[in-house]
Amino acid sequence: DSGVTQTPKHLITATGQRVTLRCSPRSGDLSVYWYQQSLDQGLQFLIQYYNGEERAKGNILERFSAQQFPDLHSELNLSSLELGDSALYFCASSVDGLNNQPQHFGDGTRLSIL
Amino acid sequence: GDSVTQMEGPVTLSEEAFLTINCTYTATGYPSLFWYVQYPGEGLQLLLKATKADDKGSNKGFEATYRKETTSFHLEKGSVQVSDSAVYFCALTGRSGGSNYKLTFGKGTLLTVNP
């Protein structure tokens, strides 16, 4: 058990819809990361938050947004969903986002767009 | 930008065989290097890490040495077990902007160990 909790485990929805993925980091971790895992793109970094503030953006679409709340949990919002958004979305957390700190991953949310 | 290249699978071995999964990287600066493992239906678990050149990470019989001269971080295990069957990802942390870091992953290598 990594200590990172993601909900829900599975989401099935239709094109054009909007969903929210939730992540609770490990106790004591201030930095939260979101990654997307798909068959064609592999694991890709989406966005990072540190103590409530956005710190870095990766390959995140404009239809996607995220935030980190004062209690440090984070939500990833995906809107105007397309078939290609079907993927496994992982949240990870680390103590402070420094280079040598490992990131600990949740079990992911599997998003299926019908 | 940063990149990680690892040997493509799938890799199929018999129990007690020797395992090597090759990983090379391209990065600016001095990245930290990691191996993660993903068991079926689960998230990624940190297997081992190395933060500077010549460091050796080890865990559960797996080892990898940070070789700056060859920009490599090959994963090895002397005797694999059926329970080692999983997907293995090599990764590095590189700067994502300012003083922030993100993980860049290889494409993963599927390992199947047969009894």
**Per-residue pLDDT for B96 more than 80?**
no
With a pLDDT cut of 90, the percent of chain A lying above it is 82
Min Cα–Cα distance to chain A from B78, Å: 25
The DSSP H or E segment spanning A31 is strand A31-38
| Phi–psi pair at A85, nearest 5 degrees | -85, -10
- The highest-confidence range among A6-20, A44-58, A98-112, by mean pLDDT, is A6-20
**Per-residue pLDDT for B100 more than 70?**
no
Cβ–Cβ gap A97/B100 under 8 Å: yes
Q: What is the mean pLDDT of residues A6-26?
A: 97
Which of A45, A57, A90 lies closest to B44 in CB terms? A90
Q: What is the mean pLDDT of residues B103-114?
A: 94
Q: Is omega for the bond preceding B115 within 30 degrees of 0, making it cis?
A: no
Q: What is the mean pLDDT of chain A?
A: 93
Structure confidence by residue, pLDDT tens digits, B17-66: 999 999 999 988 788 999 999 998 888 999 999 998 999 999 999 999 99
- Alpha carbon distance A2, A10 (integer Å): 19
- Alpha carbon distance B35, B48 (integer Å): 5
**Per-residue pLDDT for B86 more than 90?**
yes
**Per-residue pLDDT for B99 more than 70?**
no
**Per-residue pLDDT for A17 more than 80?**
yes
**Per-residue pLDDT for A11 more than 90?**
yes
Residues of A in contact with B42 (CB under 8 A): 107
